[in-house]
Amino acid sequence: MDSLLNVALAQIAPSWLDRDATLEKIKTYIQEAADNKAELIVFGEGLLPGYPFWLAYTDGAKWDLKINKELHAHYAQNAVQIESGDLNKVCALAKECSVSVYLGVIERARDRGGHSLYCSLVYIDNLGTIQSIHRKLQPTYDERLTWAPGDGHGLQVHPLKQFRLGGLNCWENWMPLPRASLYGQGENVHIAVWPGNENNTKDITRFIARESRSYVLSVSSLMRKEDFPKETPYLETLLRVVPDVLANGGSCIAGPDGEWLVPPVLNKEGLIYHTLDCNRIYEERQNFDPVGHYSRPDVTQLQINRQRQSTVSFED
């Protein structure tokens, strides 16, 4: 039925800072989700190839420190360059399995010179086509030492059966205006991706659901000491200073009434399944719709610049 949508939340750890190994893991979980009749699978923020955890433990803001330079270079070399085909196999698998995918990546964007890094949320439809790449608008705190700020180009929603999907990265979900930009496009399934930890998801997930009268899928990664590959630069140094668990998950689903459908899942790697019923969205919109009958566009309006930003333009 078009009014039902089978979803899978992939709460997994990357093979940290190893793009190729993490890609293989992602493909395995896409196949598993499809085998279990999922029509949409969502992965956490920056999962490919991983979150820059080292910055909190290596004097990340100290100027000209060799460990941070070398780890950043390693990170960049393992980042995703979409224009070079780094996601082609994921797209082909999405088409083969007829499953849509939200995937958090660290993007080394060619249209910004090919060296700076962006925390991007990529939507691939069930025909294997990349429909949007949302670059995180504002990296948070120490993330700004390794990620560049994005733009509004990826503030888009996408149809899937009777649903309209949109998504934001991590603390962007606390930004009311980007949320409103998605609501205004008819979003009714909100994808919130996180690097991991219940403290990120336990409050905002239900709040967004209640505010928007939408389903909210919060998807977090895991990260443990055993997820550091042996080839990681400065591995022994990192293992001495990081905790045993850097991200404990917290993936969850809230319904359009703001109540839990799947409470936060902790320290468990694998797929979390649920079926969404579109009719529940219409039931909850009966008394509140933040961009419809419970809005006042004659008083307040939001303007969005969705132009992809670049330093240069060419007329050839």
Residue bearing tokens 């797209």: 91
Helices (H) and strands (E) in the chain, counts: 8, 13
Among this protein's residues, is 136 annotated catalytic? yes
Choose, from 91, 119, 170, 278, the residue flagged as catalytic.
170
Among 220, 227, 264, which Cα is nearest to 243's?
Answer: 227
Integer CA distances (angstroms), 316 to 110, 307, 309, 311, in order: 18, 20, 19, 16
User: Which residue spans within the chain are E strands per DSSP?
Assistant: 4-11, 40-43, 100-108, 117-124, 130-135, 158-160, 163-169, 189-194, 215-220, 222-224, 245-254, 260-266, 270-277
Chain Cα centroid distance, residue 315: 34
CA angle 98, 166, 107 (to 5 degrees): 80
Q: Name the percent of the chain in helix, strand, coil, to the closest 5.
A: 30, 30, 40
Catalytic hit among 97, 107, 119, 136: 136
What is the biggest distance separating any 2 CA atoms in the chain, rounded to whole angstroms? 60
**202 part of the active site:** no
Catalytic residue, chosen from 39, 45, 187, 284, is 45
Positions marked active-site:
45, 136, 170
